[in-house]
């Protein structure tokens, strides 16, 4: 039985890990902790979690917890993921992994030193819909890839208390939304890109509300990504690959279980596909459990989260917005 503790009485936790855990018989959510006094107990009661802690340190000291799910803002990812690893816990850390690549490197180094696993929660990467696009690309069915395009945008209402609008908490469109397109591009190409150009626009609080960037992979493959959380922005999420034999488009790679389509034009044949299965969060939890049981590799650990943060840092630099 894998016993999980949640750092943060977070909105994302029910769909991200509480509900997927309830659908398994080898995983149990044992505890939740919040730094807001009195917040953990009602959250635990609402989600049938046995233990509630006022303060993160008490959960990290709980010897019955095997894995910590870090659902806190990005500003708390490095410090508390490192503390959890040093307390002998494995960690599933929400995206974006850290505030910058330097923090990510220290986190990964701590995992190596302690012998514990540290995974980044890019659940979408584990869904078969993304796997199908990766299969089309890797099999050569698209021919030689020449161009990739990715976007994720949705309006995040402005508030001076909304974490995603606060620079000191790791807010910003690229950090909260754009980290997904960055990850899609890197996962599909299976290598690190050069950031050629980028532009962005800040809010009055100092975070980016929109970003566009041009990247280049080995062999001259061009990539474009965009992200936007400004007012009036409709939900947009897609991934497109163009090759010498055709192209493929995946709609809604972020939450494919809420509806997606894979459209391909290959050798003159048009096809529309969907891939059945559970939620991307179910696939994520299954992959973490399997990695811990077998000791096998996981795509969202080690050099991968460092690479993602390195590209995010470079996009901010090219856009003239500087690192967090």
Whether the CB-CB separation of 85 and 58 falls below 8 Å is answered with no
8 A C-beta contact, residue 185 and residue 134: no
Structure tokens at 318: 């090219």
CB 248 within 8 A of CB 263: yes
Q: Which of 62, 64, 63, 60 is nearest to 91 (CA)?
A: 60
Q: Report d(CA 131, CA 191) in Å as an integer.
A: 17
Measured CA to CA, the distance from residue 248 to residue 242 in angstroms comes to 7
Contact by Cβ (8 Å): 3, 66: yes
> DSSP code of 125?
G
Catalytic residues: 95
Q: How far apart are CA 324 and CA 313, in angstroms?
A: 8
Residue 141, both tokens:
């069915």
Q: Tell me how far apart the alpha carbons of residues 296 and 294 are, in angstroms, rounded to a whole number.
A: 5
The count of other CB atoms within 10 Å of the CB of residue 41 is 17
The C-alpha angle with vertex 163 and arms to 158 and 169, in degrees rounded to 5, equals 135
């Amino acid at each position: 039985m894998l016993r999980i503790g949640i750092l943060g009485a977070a909105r994302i936790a029910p769909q991200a890990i509480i509900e997927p855990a309830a659908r398994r018989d080898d995983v149990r959510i044992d505890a939740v902790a919040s730094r807001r006094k009195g917040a953990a107990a009602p959250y635990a009661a609402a989600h049938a979690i046995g233990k509630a802690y006022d303060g993160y340190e008490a959960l990290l000291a709980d010897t019955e917890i095997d894995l910590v799910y870090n659902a806190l803002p990005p500003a708390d990812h490095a410090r508390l993921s490192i503390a959890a690893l040093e307390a002998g816990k494995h960690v599933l850390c929400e995206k974006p992994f850290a505030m910058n690549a330097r923090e990510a490197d220290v986190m990964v180094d701590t995992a190596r030193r302690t012998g514990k696993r540290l995974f980044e929660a890019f659940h979408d990467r584990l869904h078969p819909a993304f796997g199908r696009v990766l299969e089309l690309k890797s099999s050569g069915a698209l021919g030689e890839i020449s161009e990739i395009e990715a976007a994720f945008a949705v309006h995040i209402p402005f508030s001076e208390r909304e974490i995603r609008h606060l620079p000191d908490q790791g807010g910003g469109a690229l950090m909260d939304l754009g980290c997904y397109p960055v990850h899609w591009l890197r996962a599909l190409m299976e290598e690190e890109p050069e950031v050629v150009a980028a532009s962005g626009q800040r809010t009055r609080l100092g975070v980016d509300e929109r970003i566009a960037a041009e990247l280049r992979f080995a062999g001259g493959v061009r990539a474009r990504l965009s992200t936007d959380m400004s007012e009036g922005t409709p939900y947009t999420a897609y991934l497109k690959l163009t090759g010498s034999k055709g192209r493929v488009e995946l709609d809604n790679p972020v939450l494919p279980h809420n509806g997606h389509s894979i459209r391909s034009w290959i050798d003159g044949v048009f096809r529309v596909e969907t891939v059945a299965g559970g939620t991307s969060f179910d696939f994520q939890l299954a992959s973490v459990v399997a990695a811990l049981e077998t000791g096998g590799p996981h795509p969202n650990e080690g050099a991968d989260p460092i690479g993602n943060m390195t590209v995010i840092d470079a996009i901010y630099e090219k856009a003239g917005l500087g690192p967090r």
